[in-house]
Amino acid sequence: MENQNKATIILDIDGEKKEYTYDILKGTKGPDVVDIRSFYKDTGLFTYDVGLTSTASCTSSITFIDGEKGELSYQGIDIETLATKHSYLETCFLLLHGSLPTEDELIDFDLELRHRSFLNDGLTNLFKAFPDGAHPMSSLSSAVTALASFHFEHLDLNHQEDYDEMAYRILGKIPTIAAMSYRHYIGYPSVQPDVNLSFTENFLFMMRAYPHQRMKMTKEGPALIKEVEVRALDSIFTLHADHEQNASTTVVRGVASTGAHPYVAISSGINALWGRAHGGANESVIAQLEMIGSVDNVDEYIAKAKDPNDSFKLMGFGHRVYKNFDPRARVLKGLQDELKVELKLDSHLMEIASKIEEIALSDEYFVKRNLYPNIDFYSGVILTALKIPKEMFTAIFVIGRTIGWISQWIESIEDKQSKIVRPRQLYKGM
Taking CA atoms, 286 is separated from 280, 333, 379, in Å, by: 11, 16, 10
Task: List Cβ neighbours of 2 (8 Å cut-off, separation of 6 or more).
Answer: 25, 26
Positions marked catalytic: 319, 376
Output the 3-class SS for the chain: CEEEEEEEEEEEECCEEEEEEEEEEECCCCCCEECCCCHHHHHCCCCCCHHHCCCCCCCCCCEEEECCCCEEEECCEEHHHHHHHCCHHHHHHHHHHCCCCCHHHHHHHHHHHHHCCCCCHHHHHHHHHCCCCCCHHHHHHHHHHHHHHHCHHHHCCCCHHHHHHHHHHHHHHHHHHHHHHHHHHHCCCCCCCCCCCCHHHHHHHHHHCCCCCCCCCECCCCCCCEHHHHHHHHHHHHHCCCCCCCHHHHHHHHHHCCCCCHHHHHHHHHHHHCCCCCCCHHHHHHHHHHHHCCHHHHHHHHHHHHCCCCCCCCCCECCCCCCCCCHHHHHHHHHHHHHHHHCCCCCHHHHHHHHHHHHHHHCHHHHHCCCCECHHHHHHHHHHHCCCCHHHHHHHHHHHHHHHHHHHHHHHHHCCCCCCCCCCCCCCCC
Residue among 244, 204, 164, 200 at smallest CA distance from 89? 200
